[in-house]
């Protein structure tokens, strides 16, 4: 790979921002220097921020490309390539694509079909062929309130780049949808269920959790351990939820729904991840705790774009402004997720680190990606 020098940039380092330059060679950061000099042949960043490439641990964005409209299935290769390009364009250089395992095959109306194994195979095939711009890992969302979780988990193995496995429990009336009225609005809006159909859905899901939930949870924990994947919880709400998570060896809490749960996570050494859209919108669409409240309380470690890829950078810059510490804000989407995902080679600007970098300008306060490099190669 040719050597590249990105100069006269505002470098977002681990604990500070400084004017300087980065020299890239062989896919790695070869040197980091301070000062505004622009050597011959260097890219003059004109004072723009230069930061590590963003690391996304949980995004549903691929599902939007696979099914752009309800009951419309798009060709998978085209969808995967478009998803990959979109992430590169907004500064994401490492992604854990979230795929649900655990389906409800007895109810066509809720559309919880099996899809993860096929899609994972297609993604890994495109990766092997060099068709993707950024680094992809798999995040399996193990739905314990389902009918097929164990058989779907058995289709995966250590060779599948499963970096994260999260325990999902969407049993109606608890966690994310403790307020059944919120769930009613969501499910009926998405699937067009009548009131009677929604009520039957709630009862069926609760019965399913009672019958299979414990076995599903145990099998998912065992699978993560066998594959060396990071275990994550999802929508912890109470101290008891967090205690169970800690007993499982969970290291990452996705979207805890209350301050109580976030504090319990911090006490148990579990990293807290919140949704960037929550921060930008000023609250949770499900009526749960606001990410800004956790940020103000010092209980927010990592951001996820969740369902809006461009939200990741925007929210991290917002945190930098809220905390009056841009390095700290950007760390929530770079070094902190790298640590949580056990990826020590990226997420920082330092000699020897992987040369995943993005150049970012602020236009009327809003961040805009002007360049994306993956292993020193420009991809966006």
Residues 6+ apart with CB under 8 A from 10: 17, 18, 19, 45, 47, 48, 49, 50
Residues 300 and 359 in one domain: no
Domain co-membership, 358 together with 332: no
Q: For residues 121 and 254, state if they share a domain.
A: yes
| 199 band by pLDDT with thresholds 50, 70 and 90 | confident
pLDDT tops 60 at residue 111: no
Q: Are residues 32 and 78 in the same domain?
A: no
Q: Structural domain tally of the chain?
A: 2
**Predicted confidence band of residue 370 (pLDDT cuts 50, 70, 90):** very high
What does each C-alpha distance from 241 to 116, 232, 234, 237, 262 come to in angstroms?
A: 27, 12, 10, 6, 11
* One domain, residues 121 and 79: yes
Q: What is the pLDDT of residues 129-183, one digit of tens each?
A: 999 999 999 999 999 888 899 999 999 999 999 999 999 986 665 666 666 666 6
14 and 35 share one domain: yes
The predicted model scores a pTM of 0.91
Give residue 377's domain range: 1-52+346-380
**Which pLDDT belongs to residue 180?**
66
The confidence score (pLDDT) of residue 207 equals 75
Same domain, 65 and 101: yes
Length of the chain: 380
- Same domain, yes or no: 159 and 185: yes
% of the chain surpassing 90 pLDDT: 78
Q: What is the CATH number of the domain that holds 358?
A: 2.30.40.10
Supply the Cα-derived Rg of the chain in whole angstroms. 21
Same structural domain, 17 and 133: no
Selected residue with higher pLDDT from 194 and 355:
355
Clarify whether residues 175 and 32 are in a common domain.
Answer: no
Summarize pLDDT for 2-41 with one digit per residue, the tens.
799 999 999 999 999 999 999 999 999 999 999 999 999 9
C-alpha to C-alpha distance for 160 and 154, rounded to whole angstroms: 12
Q: Which of the four pLDDT bands, split at 50, 70 and 90, describes residue 189? A: low
Clarify whether residues 158 and 256 are in a common domain: yes
Lowest mean per-residue pLDDT among 84-98, 173-187, 262-276: 173-187
Tally: H helices and E strands in the chain: 13, 16
Q: pLDDT class for 107, splitting at 50, 70, 90?
A: low
Q: Are residues 312 and 363 in the same domain?
A: no
């Amino acid at each position: 790979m040719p050597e590249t020098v990105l100069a006269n940039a505002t470098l977002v380092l681990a604990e500070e921002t400084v004017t300087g330059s980065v020299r890239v060679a062989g896919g790695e950061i070869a040197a980091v220097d301070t000062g505004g000099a622009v050597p011959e042949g260097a890219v003059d960043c004109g004072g723009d921020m230069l930061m590590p490439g963003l690391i996304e641990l949980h995004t549903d964005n691929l599902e939007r490309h696979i099914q752009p409209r309800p009951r419309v299935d798009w060709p998978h290769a085209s969808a995967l390539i478009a998803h990959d390009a979109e992430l590169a364009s907004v500064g994401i250089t490492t992604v854990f694509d979230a795929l649900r395992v655990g389906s409800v095959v007895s109810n066509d109306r809720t559309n919880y079909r099996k899809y993860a194994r096929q899609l994972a195979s297609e993604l890994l095939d495109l990766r092997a062929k060099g068709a993707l711009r950024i680094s992809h890992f798999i995040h399996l969302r193990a739905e314990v309130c389902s009918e097929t979780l164990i058989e779907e988990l058995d289709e995966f193995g250590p060779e599948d780049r499963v970096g994260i496995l999260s325990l999902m429990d969407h049993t109606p009336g608890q966690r994310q949808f403790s307020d059944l009225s919120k769930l009613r609005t969501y499910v009926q809006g998405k699937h067009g269920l009548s009131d009677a159909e929604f009520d039957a859905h709630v009862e069926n899901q609760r019965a399913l959790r009672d019958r299979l939930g414990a076995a599903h949870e145990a099998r998912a924990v065992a699978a993560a351990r066998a594959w060396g994947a990071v275990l994550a919880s999802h929508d912890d709400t109470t101290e008891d939820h967090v205690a169970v998570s800690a007993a499982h060896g969970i290291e990452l809490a996705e979207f805890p729904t209350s301050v109580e749960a976030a504090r319990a996570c911090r006490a148990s050494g579990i990293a807290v991840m919140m949704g960037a859209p929550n921060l930008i919108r000023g609250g949770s669409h499900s009526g749960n705790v606001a990410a800004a409240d956790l940020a103000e309380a010092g209980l927010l470690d990592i951001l996820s774009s969740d369902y809006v890829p461009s939200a990741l950078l925007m929210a991290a810059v917002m945190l930098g402004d809220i905390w009056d510490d841009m390095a700290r804000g950007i760390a929530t989407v770079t070094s902190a997720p790298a640590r949580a995902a056990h990826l020590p080679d990226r997420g920082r600007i330092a000699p020897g680190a992987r040369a995943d970098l993005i150049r970012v300008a602020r236009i009327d306060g809003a961040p805009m990606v002007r360049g994306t490099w993956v292993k020193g190669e420009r991809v966006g």
